[in-house]
Amino acid sequence: MSEERSYGYRALFSEPRIFTYALAAAFGKLQAGMFALSTLYAVADQRSYSVGAFVVAVSALGGLSTPLRGRLLDRYAYGPVLWTIMVIHTVLVGALLVNEHMRGPFWITVASALLGNLAAPPIGVVTRVMWRSVTTEASRPTALAFDSVLADAGFILGPTLAAVACSALAPWAGLAAVVFFTAVATLLLPKDIGDDKSSARQGDRHWAGPLASSRLVLLLGAALCFATAVSVLEIALATPDGGKDSQVLSGLLLSVLSIGSIIGGLLIGAMTPVMAERATRLPVLLVALAVFSTALVLGSEAGWLVAVPLCLLTGLSFGPSFVAVYGRSGDLAPAGMSAETQAWVGTALQLGSAAGAGAGGVILDIWGPTGALALAPVAAVVGAASAFAGDRMRAPAAAPREGKARSLS
C-alpha cells in the first residue's frame, strides 16, 4: 500500500469486503433510529399518540438487556445467536402488529413492544466489534469515526424513513422496515467476529464480566456524563421560547448541532492514526464540550448569529467523543468480552440520554431553556474528571487488550 493510502478513508475502503460491512453497519443504524417512531405510529393508528408514547417509553426499557445479549455473543458463535434473536424479535413485532390490527388487549401490545426490544438483535454492538476485526491498526481510527458518522446519519434519516413509510404506505410499514433492515444487516455481517470463544468459557471469568475493570467503569461513567450533556443540549435547544421565529431557530440549532457532530467524526476519520489518537483524548474533548456549552449558555439570548456558530463548535466535539469512547472501551475490553463491553458502553450512553432528558425537562419547568443548558457543562466536567481518573490508573499486569490496538483516547 502506498503512503497516500496508508491511513484515512482510502485505507479503510481498500480493506477486503469493507463496502459490504459498511452497508451492514448503515442498516443497523437505521434500525436503531426507526424502532421508536415506528412503534409510536403503529400504536397511535388504533389508539392515540399519548398511548403510543407510553408504549414507546416502556419498550425503551428493553435496551437494558443489551449487556446480556452481548454476553451471549461472547460465549457462542455470532451467527446462531443473532439469527435466534432475530426470529424471536420478528415474532414479537408481528404479534404487536397483529394485536393492533385486531384491536386486541392493550397489555399484549405493551408486552410485545417491551419483549420485542429486549430481543432486538444488537447490530450496533456487533458492528463496533466488527470494525476491530476487519481493519488494520492504520485504518481502525477511520472505521470507528465512520461508524460514529453512520450513527448520526441513522438517527437523522431513521425517523424520517419511519415517518415516510408509515404515512405513504401503512402504519405497520415502519416496523416492517425495521425488521427488514435488521435481517439484511445480519446477512451482511462477516462470519467470524471477535475473540476466540474459548476465552469466554474460562472458569475464572468474573461474574461481573467487564465491569470488574475499574478503568472501564470510570470510562462508562464518562460516557454516561457525555450522553447526559448531549441530551440536555438537545432538550434545551429544541424548546422554543415562543413564536414562529423561535421554533424555526430551535430546529436550526438542532440541525447545526448534528452537522457539527458529523463533521467532527469525518475529520477524525481523515487523520493519520497518530493525529487521531491525539484528537480523541476523551478528557480533553469533554472539557472542550464544557467550554463550548458554557459559551452557548452565555450566548443563548444573543440571537442566531451567535448561537449557530456556538452550536457548530459544540457539535464538533460530539463525533470525536463517540470515537474516543468506543475506541478506548475496545482497548480495555477483557479477552473474550468484546461484545459485552461494547454493550455496556451502549447502555451507559442510553442511561445518560435518559438522565439528561429527565433532568433537562425538570429544569426547563423551573428555570427555562437557559437553566437547562447550564446542566450540560456540569455533566461534561464530571465526565472529563471520570475519564481522566481512568486514564491515570495503572493498568493491571494481566490486562489482555492494552496494546493490542492503538488507543484512541
> Do both 185 and 262 map to the same domain?
no
- Per-residue confidence at 251, pLDDT binned at 50, 70, 90? confident
- Mean of the pLDDT values across residues 114-130? 91
Cell of 344: 455496556
Cell of 192: 467470524
The predicted structure's pLDDT at residue 204: 56
Split into its structural domains, the chain has a count of: 2
Give the other-Cβ count within 10 Å of 82's Cβ.
Answer: 23
Cell of 75: 460465549
Of residues 299 and 281, more confidence is placed in 281
The predicted structure's pLDDT at residue 335: 83
pLDDT at 169 over 80: yes
> Do both 83 and 115 map to the same domain?
yes
Of residues 356 and 378, more confidence is placed in 378
Choice among 58-67, 242-251, 296-305, 322-331 with the minimum mean pLDDT: 242-251
Within a domain: residue 335?
yes
> Do both 241 and 276 map to the same domain?
yes
> Do both 179 and 249 map to the same domain?
no
Within a domain: residue 401?
no
Within a domain: residue 5?
no
Buried b (16+ CB within 10 A) or exposed e, 52-74: bebbbebbbebbebbbebbbbbb
> Do both 376 and 319 map to the same domain?
yes
Choice among 17-26, 30-39, 107-116, 296-305 with the minimum mean pLDDT: 296-305
pLDDT at 397 over 90: no
The predicted structure's pLDDT at residue 300: 66
> Do both 241 and 174 map to the same domain?
no
Q: What pLDDT, in 10s, does the model give residues 363-390?
A: 877 888 788 888 999 999 999 999 999 9
> Do both 142 and 268 map to the same domain?
no
Q: What pLDDT, in 10s, does the model give residues 182-195?
A: 999 999 998 777 55
- Per-residue confidence at 68, pLDDT binned at 50, 70, 90? very high
pLDDT at 131 over 70: yes
Given 129, 160, 194, the domain boundary residue is: 194
> Do both 74 and 156 map to the same domain?
yes
Average pLDDT of the residues of the chain: 85
Of residues 208 and 297, more confidence is placed in 297
Within a domain: residue 134?
yes
Within a domain: residue 202?
no
- Mean of the pLDDT values across residues 130-143? 86
Within a domain: residue 203?
no
> Do both 112 and 213 map to the same domain?
no
Choice among 102-111, 200-209, 346-355 with the minimum mean pLDDT: 200-209
Cell of 51: 398511548
- Give the 3-state secondary structure of the chain: CCHHHCCHHHHHCCCCCHHHHHHHHHHHHHHHHHHHHHHHHHHHCCCCHHHHHHHHHHHHHHHHHHHHHHHHHHHCCHHHHHHHHHHHHHHHHHHHHHHHHCCCCHHHHHHHHHHHHHCCCCHHHHHHHHHHHHCCCCCHHHHHHHHHHHHHHHHHHHHHHHHHHHHHCCCCHHHHHHHHHHHHHHHHCCCCCCCCHHHHCCCCCCCCHHHHCHHHHHHHHHHHHHHHHHHHHHHHHCCCCCCHHHHHHHHHHHHHHHHHHHHHHHHHHHCCHHHHHHHCCHHHHHHHHHHHHHHHHHHCCCCHHHHHHHHHHHHHCHHHHHHHHHHHHHHHCCCCCHHHHHHHHHHHHHHHHHHHHHHHHHHHHHHHHHHHHCHHHHHHHHHHHHHHHHHHCCCCCCCCCECCECCCC
Domain that holds residue 104: 16-194
Of residues 136 and 3, more confidence is placed in 136
Within a domain: residue 289?
yes
- Per-residue confidence at 284, pLDDT binned at 50, 70, 90? very high
How many angstroms separate the CA atoms of 174 and 165, rounded? 6
Non-local (6+) Cβ contacts of 47 within 8 A are 100, 106
> Do both 236 and 153 map to the same domain?
no
> Do both 343 and 300 map to the same domain?
yes
pLDDT at 215 over 90: yes
Ramachandran class of 196: left when φ > 0, alpha when ψ lies in -120 to 50, beta otherwise: beta
The predicted structure's pLDDT at residue 157: 85
Within a domain: residue 1?
no
CATH of residue 184's domain is 1.20.1250.20
The predicted structure's pLDDT at residue 386: 96
pLDDT at 405 over 50: no
> Do both 190 and 223 map to the same domain?
no
